[in-house]
Structure 1
Amino acid sequence: MPTIVRATVPATEVALAETFAALPTLEVEAERVVKSGEKVVMPLLWIRNAGVEEFESACAEDPTIDDLELLADFGDELLYRMHWIEQVGLLLQMLTNGQATILNAFGTEEQWHLRMLYPSRDHLSQTKEFCVEHELEFTVDAIREMEGDPSGRYGLTTEQYETLVTAVRRGYFEVPRDINLEELADELGVSHQAVSECLRRGTEALIEDTLLVGFPEQETQPPSPLEGD
Structure 2
Amino acid sequence: MATITRAEIPAEEFALLETLRSVPEVTFDCERIVESGSELVMPLVWARGATREELEGALSDDPSVREFSLLADFDDDLLYRMTWVEQVHLVLEMVTTLHATVMDASCDGATWTLRVFYPDHDALSRTNEFCESHGLSFEVTHVREMEGEPSGRFGLTDEQFEALTLACQEGYFSVPRRTDLDELAADLDISHQALSERIRRGTEVLVEEALLVGPLSDR
* Structure 1 residue identity aligned to 2:99: Q
Alignment partners' CA distance in 1, 2:22 and 2:88: 20
Aligned 1:64-83 pairs, distance under 5 A: 64-83=64-83
Alignment partners' CA distance in 2, 1:32 and 1:212: 14
1:179 maps to which residue? 179
Shift of 1:215: 5.8
2:44 maps to which residue? 44
Aligned 1:180-195 pairs, distance under 5 A: 180-195=180-195
Aligned 1:91-106 pairs, distance under 5 A: 91-106=91-106
Residue by residue over 1:160-194, the C-alpha shift from the partner in whole angstroms, topping out at 9 and shown as x without a partner, is 12211221121101121111001111222322121
Q: Which moved more, 1:130-139 or 1:156-165?
A: 156-165
* Structure 2 residue identity aligned to 1:44: L
CA contact (8 A) 2:29 2:213 kept: no
In structure 1, list runs of 5 or more residues that go unmatched: 219-229
Q: Which moved more, 1:156-165 or 1:79-88?
A: 156-165
Alignment partners' CA distance in 1, 2:185 and 2:206: 21
1:166 maps to which residue? 166
CA RMSD of the aligned region, Å? 1.5
Alignment partners' CA distance in 2, 1:6 and 1:165: 26
Shift of 1:217: 5.3
* Structure 1 residue identity aligned to 2:9: V
Q: Which moved more, 1:201-210 or 1:110-119?
A: 201-210
CA contact (8 A) 1:27 1:47 kept: yes
1:222 maps to which residue? none
Q: Which moved more, 1:104-113 or 1:152-161?
A: 152-161
1:26 has 2:36 as partner: no
* Structure 1 residue identity aligned to 2:178: D
1:226 maps to which residue? none
Residue by residue over 1:180-228, the C-alpha shift from the partner in whole angstroms, topping out at 9 and shown as x without a partner, is 001111222322121111011111222223322216859xxxxxxxxxx
Alignment partners' CA distance in 2, 1:112 and 1:154: 23
CA contact (8 A) 2:15 2:64 kept: yes
- CA 1:215–1:129 in 2, change beyond 3 Å: closer, same or farther? closer
1:17 maps to which residue? 17
Alignment partners' CA distance in 2, 1:159 and 1:80: 40
1:156 has 2:156 as partner: yes
Aligned 1:111-130 pairs, distance under 5 A: 111-130=111-130
* Structure 2 residue identity aligned to 1:23: V
Alignment partners' CA distance in 2, 1:43 and 1:59: 14
Shift of 1:25: 1.5
Alignment partners' CA distance in 2, 1:181 and 1:58: 52
1:109 has 2:116 as partner: no
Shift of 1:141: 0.2
CA contact (8 A) 2:6 2:143 kept: yes
CA contact (8 A) 2:156 2:202 kept: yes
SS in 2 for 1:5: strand
In structure 2, list runs of 5 or more residues that go unmatched: none
Shift of 1:113: 0.6
Normalised to the residue count of structure 2, the TM-score between the two structures is 0.95
